[in-house]
Chain A
Amino acid sequence: MKIVIAVIKPDRLEAVKQELYKVDVNLITVSEVLGHGRQMGVTEVYRGVKEMGNLLRKIQLFIAVNDSYLEQTIQAIIRGAKTGEIGDGKIFVLPLDECVRIRTEERGGIAIG
């Protein structure tokens, strides 16, 4: 089992969701985050005072998958999120030790899907 964490542009969320549905990944958690990579954010100015290198809004996806679903999940996120420009974001994959569905108390791979 793996955790896929993806940071993407906010306006790509809809496209990424559609791509994930196509490969049968229907369970995702989405949160709004701030950050910047090489894009270095956008300058803000308040009453003449500059604030440099500020943070940009991004969307973070949190998806737990079984190993057999990992590659197609990654590919789906890339298809939905890639524009080819700086700021497209990143995908992180982490090992997942356990997963419990609270309602049924099922554990492991069966609890993920």
Chain B
Amino acid sequence: MNTGDTAWVLISTALVMLMTPGLAFFYGGMVRRKNVLGVLMQCFTILCVLSIQWVLYGYSLAFAPGKGFWGGFDWIGLTGVGLGPFKDYAPTIPHQAFMIFQAMFAVITPALIVGAFAERMKFSGFLLFVILWATFIYDPVAHWVWGVGGWLRDLGALDFAGGTVVHINAGIAALATAIFIGKRKGYNGSAVPPHNLPHTVIGTALLWFGWFGFNAGSALAANGLAVNAFVVTNTAAATAGLTWAVIEWLHNGKPTVFGTATGAVAGLVAITPAAGFVSALSAIVIGIFVSLFCFIAVAFIKPRLGYDDSLDAFGVHCVGGIWGALATGLFASKLINPDGANGLFFGNPRQFLIQALAVAVTLAYSFVGSLILYKVVDWVVGMRVSEKDEIIGLDLTQHNENAYTLLE
């Protein structure tokens, strides 16, 4: 046991916790003002509900060792998850510190999906969907990649802090739900003006800040690896934010705040799987390309395909996550992390194929699984609000509140 490591992981846990409210503001600023509370409420509710789900059975399903599909029920209610270390996950910190650190990842992942169905999902349907999604999609995929006995982990797939488990997983589920729930009323492919971009910038800042815990905390120790993750995280976010602004400048004539914030988040997404395996110079390359790919996805591909991923959860998190996972297979180097692997550019093409396999499996499982869960919930309680409620807005119709008043 190491007090420094424990302190760092606890602080990182708190940092990652802050990402979910940060995401709420990032998304909340983008919606119309009649729906901002709906978005904030969905994110905060996920924080409440999945924190409980995780200690009751979620952690067990994801991390209890040795089963194929998921972890099983050996650690249900944190049975056997004590204050001593569990060597296979984190040898120098209490097992519960690792558990609560992972809890925050389980919380933010479904919160990312909120961006896809924003402004039109019924709160009751949302609640049921999120609980089912965490149980049947997140927990198994986390087990495959990170759990002892997980088959992607045994295959050697590299995912330092959750590019596959968190971002691809949530991003493709976002696409599935966006397709099934349908377009917002009146959406014709053109942009819906964000109601409060300063909120989005505050949210981006909180995400960037929290991401240091997400990535550097995933070293699970206060050591050089954590420092490497910290440095490359900052570098990739900065590069991607700047790159997005430059792309807009060249393509649309003006750089935008919204674009710069979006780029920074895309950079954070892309560096997530790679943070413990690549150098700062590789992070710059990853950051440049992620903004390029995500910009193409949200500015050209989305309008052409016509699905309404309201806040681009797919375009940023899935596209950025796929690039990050594949880039890990390109740029990973044993000089950075001797416990990792070399990527394609360091003489090991096999790693790239393993990464591609992990991406493909996650995409397929999460897409199909999310469609099934969506249909089930739609059948049980209904997913979409009535047209009248959608016009009035989720704040008043789902929560009886207004975010902003015109008159006292």
Contacts and interface: CB of A to CB of B under 8 A. Distances in A.
Interface of A: 9, 11, 14, 32, 34, 42-46, 54-57, 85
A14 B134 CA distance: 39
Given A11-B185, A55-B407, A44 B391 contact: no
B402 A11 contact: no
Given A55-B407, A57-B34, A42 B397 contact: yes
B207 to A, nearest CB: 29
A28 to B, nearest CB: 19
Contacts of A14: 186
A32 B388 CA distance: 20
A57 B395 CA distance: 13
B396 A42 contact: yes
Contact of B396 (A11, A32, A44): A44
Interface residues of B, number: 13
Given A11-B391, A55-B407, A44 B401 contact: yes
Contacts of A42: 392, 396-397, 400
Given A11-B185, A56-B392, A44 B402 contact: yes
10 contacts: A9-B391, A14-B186, A42-B392, A42-B397, A42-B400, A44-B400, A44-B401, A44-B402, A45-B401, A46-B401
**What are the 4 tightest A-B residue pairs by CB atom distance, in nearest-first order?**
A45-B400, A42-B396, A11-B391, A44-B400
Contacts of B391: 9, 11
Contacts of A56: 392
Interface in B203-255: none
A9 B406 CA distance: 16
Interface of B: 34, 185-186, 388, 391-392, 396-397, 400-402, 406-407
Contacts of A85: 388
A11 B35 CA distance: 14
A56 B400 CA distance: 12
A34 B406 contact: yes
A43 B185 CA distance: 23
B405 to A, nearest CB: 9
A16 B34 CA distance: 20
Contacts of B34: 57
B407 A34 contact: yes
A56 B407 CA distance: 11
Nearest to B33: A57
B387 to A, nearest CB: 10
Contact of A11 (B186, B400, B401, B407): B186
Nearest to B34: A57
A40 to B, nearest CB: 13
A14 B34 CA distance: 17
Nearest to A33: B406
A57 B402 CA distance: 11
- Residue from A9, A45, A55, A57 whose CB has the most chain B CB atoms within 10 Å: A57
A34 B406 CA distance: 8
Nearest to B393: A57
Contacts of A34: 406-407
A79 to B, nearest CB: 16
Nearest to B399: A45
Contacts of A57: 34, 406
B406 A43 contact: no
Nearest to A45: B400
Contact of B406 (A11, A32, A44, A46): A32
- Residue from A42, A54, A56 whose CB has the most chain B CB atoms within 10 Å: A42
Contacts of B388: 85
A45 B397 CA distance: 11
A43 B400 contact: yes
A62 to B, nearest CB: 17
Nearest to B395: A44
Nearest to B389: A42
Nearest to A50: B400
A57 B32 CA distance: 13
Given A14-B186, A44-B402, A46-B401, 10 more contacts: A11-B185, A11-B186, A34-B407, A42-B397, A43-B400, A44-B396, A44-B400, A54-B402, A55-B407, A57-B34
